[in-house]
Amino acid sequence: MLKELNKYLFLAIIIYLSLFSCVKEVDFDQADDFEISPVIESSLIFLDEPADSFIVNGVATPPISDYVEIDIFNNEFVVDNLIKADFVLEATNSINRGFEIQVDFINDIDQLVHTFTFSAPPSTDGSDVLSNHTEVFEGESLIALKNTSKLVFTLSILSGGAIDQSMPGRIALRSKAIFYLNIGEEI
Amino acid sequence: MRYIALLFIVASCSFSFSQNKQLLYGFSDIPQSLMINPGGEVKNDWYFGMPLLSHIHANVGITGSTVYDIFANDGIDFNTKLQNAVYSMGSRDSFSVNQQLEIFSGGFSLKNTLGKKEYLSFGLYQELDFIAYFPKDLAILALEGNQNNIGRSFRANNVNVAAEAISVLHVGYNKKVNDHFTFGVRGKIYSNIVNVNSTKNEGRFVTVRGQNNFYDHIFNLDLEARTSGLANLKDDDSDSNSVVKDLRKRALLGGDLGLGFDIGLTHQLNKQWSLDASLLDVGFIRHTKDIENYKVEGDYVFEGINPIFPDTGNGQTAEEYWSDIETNFEDLFKLDTTATKYTTWRPVKLNASLNYAFGKKIDDICNCENEEDIYQNKTGLQLYAISRPRQPQLALTLYYYRRLFNGLQVKTTYTIDPYSMTNIGLGMSANLKGVNFYVMADNFLELRNVYNAQSVSLQLGFNYIFNKNED
């Protein structure tokens, strides 16, 4: 008799357990709040040239300019999700002349939408002179960046001390872009 | 964007250890136990399964974080929970789904003499198997970007997904040689319905401090995804009837075919102790029709550009220099589509158990054990292993089986695997006038909050069972 009772007790426990399955409160609409904010850094432009690159026949060269066509900034993903960008430039100059680097941002109908310049001061004693510049793109300038399809770089050697073909020193430039993204539902 | 979010979440809940039918294994009152050990004990003389209802199996397994961890309505910021989930999981965490549906099945004994028995079983079932590992490196890159990860390799082998839908036609032979030894084999013909896999990805993306510029961005990619049976379905989009027709044809052995086998045995050590083991789905599918493979392969190191003094050593203009860089990037991410035939191997499963039967029924009238009666209780230890793309998954089960009444048997299991130490399962099989019904589910403790469960599996089915000797 006791055995029979055990059997029913066992069954009762099973049924009780099966009825106990339930669900605690979850809210799948939270997926609407999904948001991630990765920060991407990418090398941009660089150069490393000896002084004699800027001297032709004993005189300083005129400003050297070139451009790259670039479509990454008006890419739909970037337009939708880029909330801020920094361009960080770092120059190391050991030439006794200063340099100026100008970056022009041109849109697809050849209009200038943004520009900035950055000067690298001269080195008086041949040692490395470090200089930095950070161009921040927010608000108006961020919109300008997102309209940019061409970047024009102009490097000018500034007037200063005497120069000749055998002048020592180099100018090096390194740069990177920092892209602050915010990827989420609302944007 | 919502879909990306959901995809991210699904990927975040990486999955695992499905397909373990620890409750059904060795539960010989249920004819379908022969599907897990073709060399198992056969208790019926013949049976047939109720079409489409004889075996319904579903299993979802998640390791790492659960749905509840991410979606709990607990006032904590969703993105905080998501980030915690991403950081707490590793690239070995996985999400898996396994589903089976028997279309039809049956079995009958060929010979049944004293102590000897030969039994033939057959059927057609459909199976869906999906496993995705958590792409940890990719998730971190998406979450943080590379700024805080200079020098860290984001490995492409983190992307590891396999999905297949197949139908299986099978015939099994089981022979009880004597009271001590039973063996069985089952031949299988697989028909592919849809197969998608991307399990052999190599390469990495890493940003390191550079020589000429702040950083060198090193891309070294060798990614591949293979699909079979998918391209046609996409083309069929306009007409849902033809999709259904296509799928039905493939389910009925009209798809890419494969072959495989199961083997198993039972060794009765003495009246109470027995040992059994099985190896399932040793087989392959050869994919030849309707293949579409995608490949991305390339090596490139990007250090920025030198627009003013381009590398003019080889007479390049700035324009050419820049277009070279563009071409390099395009080549790097170019998606090659091929139709190369390929072979997939089915996940091999190993089961083994050591069993001890005890407690014969006490006859109420004479208050003694009846020699003819079978043991009412059984307990034992089961081992389960499955081959998976990354590494085999193992589970160990302790069980207790009990005949409650003549037509009612129950089994309870306690299973340990790398993901759960508290997996308790319950199963029962009931016979009423030749109709057999069984239902079993595991992770009973987790069912109190199913969203917090790391694995849930359910099996149920109806059969007609006939025995010459009984009733």
Whole-angstrom distance, CA of residue A126 vs CA of residue B216: 29
Whole-angstrom distance, CA of residue B51 vs CA of residue B55: 9
Q: Return residues 316-335 of B near A (CB < 8 Å).
A: 318, 322
pLDDT value of position A20: 53
Of B4-8, B38-42, B175-179, B248-252, the least confident: B4-8
* H or E stretch covering A81: helix A76-81
Among candidates B71, B77, B309 on the partner chain, residue whose Cβ is nearest the Cβ of A28: B71
For residue A158, the 8-state DSSP code is P
Let me know: does B227 contact B293? Beta carbons within 8 Å: yes
In a domain, B226, yes or no: yes
Residue of A nearest to B403 (CA): A7
CB neighbours (10 Å) of residue B270?
A: 7
* ipTM, two decimals: 0.82
User: What is the CA angle A92-A169-B317, rounded to 5?
Assistant: 80
Chain-chain contact of A25 with B78 (C-beta, under 8 angstroms): no
Angle between helices B78-88 and B136-144 (to 10 degrees): 140
Q: Is the pLDDT of residue B323 over 90?
A: no
pLDDT value of position B8: 40
| Min Cα separation B423/chain A (Å) | 14
* Section B228-252 average pLDDT: 78
Domain architecture of chain A: domains with CATH: 36-184 (2.60.120.660)
**pLDDT, greater one: B94 or B39:** B39
- Considering chain B, what percentage of its residues have pLDDT values greater than 90? 51
pLDDT digit string (tens) for A158-169?
A: 887 777 777 788
User: Which positions ≥6 away from B422 have C-beta within 8 Å?
Assistant: B445, B446
Q: Is the pLDDT of residue A106 over 90?
A: yes
| Min Cα separation A162/chain B (Å) | 24
pLDDT digit string (tens) for B130-189?
A: 888 889 999 999 999 999 999 999 999 888 899 999 999 999 999 999 989 999 999 999
Phi, psi of B323 (to 5 degrees): -70, -25
Contacts of B71 in chain A (CB under 8 A): 26-28, 30-31
Let me know: does B160 contact B133? Beta carbons within 8 Å: yes
pLDDT value of position B1: 44
Contacts of A68 in chain B (CB under 8 A): 305, 307, 318, 322
Q: Could you give the number of structural domains in chain B? A: 1
Phi, psi of A134 (to 5 degrees): -120, 120
Of B119-128, B216-225, B270-279, B361-370, the least confident: B361-370
In a domain, B410, yes or no: no
Residue of A nearest to B305 (CA): A45
In a domain, B108, yes or no: yes
pLDDT class of A33 with cuts at 50, 70, 90: confident
Whole-angstrom distance, CA of residue A179 vs CA of residue A87: 9
- Considering chain A, what percentage of its residues have pLDDT values greater than 90? 45
Whole-angstrom distance, CA of residue B374 vs CA of residue B390: 44
Dig out the tokens for A92 from the structure.
């190391």
Whole-angstrom distance, CA of residue B417 vs CA of residue B284: 27
CB neighbours (10 Å) of residue A105?
A: 22
pLDDT value of position A24: 63
Whole-angstrom distance, CA of residue B155 vs CA of residue B390: 14
* Section B393-421 average pLDDT: 89
Across chain B, mean pLDDT equals: 85
| Min Cα separation A170/chain B (Å) | 13
Where residue A142 falls (left for φ over 0; alpha for ψ -120 to 50; beta otherwise) is alpha
- Considering chain B, what percentage of its residues have pLDDT values greater than 70? 88
Across chain A, mean pLDDT equals: 85
pLDDT class of B14 with cuts at 50, 70, 90: very low
In a domain, B422, yes or no: no
Contacts of B450 in chain A (CB under 8 A): 21-23
Dig out the tokens for A20 from the structure.
């106990």
- In chain A, the largest separation of any two C-alpha atoms, in whole Å, equals 117
Burial label for B408, CB within 10 Å (0-12, 13-18, 19+), is middle
Identify which of A82, A100, A78 has the alpha carbon closest to the alpha carbon of residue A91: A100
Angle between helices B78-88 and B2-12 (to 10 degrees): 40
Whole-angstrom distance, CA of residue B1 vs CA of residue A184: 7
Whole-angstrom distance, CA of residue B252 vs CA of residue B291: 19
* Section A119-126 average pLDDT: 89
CB neighbours (10 Å) of residue B445?
A: 14
Q: Which amino acid is at B359?
A: G
pLDDT value of position B369: 57
pLDDT value of position B144: 92
pLDDT value of position B246: 81
In a domain, B430, yes or no: no
Q: In whole angstroms, how far apart are CA B234 and each of A35, B218, B238, B243?
A: 31, 35, 9, 9
In a domain, B116, yes or no: yes
User: Does residue B444 sit at the A interface (CB-CB below 8 Å)?
Assistant: yes
pLDDT value of position B67: 79
Among candidates B77, B213, B307 on the partner chain, residue whose Cβ is nearest the Cβ of A43: B213
pLDDT value of position B366: 62
Euclidean distance between the first and the last CA atom of chain A, given in angstroms as a whole number: 71
Q: Which amino acid is at B259?
A: L
pLDDT value of position A58: 78
Domain that holds residue B167: 2-345+444-466
Contacts of B307 in chain A (CB under 8 A): 45, 66-68, 151, 153
* Chains A, B: CB pairs < 8 Å: 167
Whole-angstrom distance, CA of residue A94 vs CA of residue A48: 11
In a domain, B99, yes or no: yes
* Section A63-68 average pLDDT: 85
Interface test with B, best of A19, A43, A134 (most B CBs within 10 A): A43
Interface test with A, best of B217, B305, B325 (most A CBs within 10 A): B305
pLDDT digit string (tens) for A144-183?
A: 999 999 989 899 988 877 777 777 889 999 999 999 999 8
User: Which positions ≥6 away from B175 have C-beta within 8 Å?
Assistant: B117, B118, B119, B182, B183, B184
pLDDT value of position A15: 62
Q: Is the pLDDT of residue B119 over 70?
A: yes
In a domain, B128, yes or no: yes
pLDDT digit string (tens) for B68-86?
A: 788 888 888 888 888 888 8
Dig out the tokens for B364 from the structure.
């109420």
* Mean pLDDT comparison of A84-93, B126-135, B414-423, highest-scoring range: A84-93
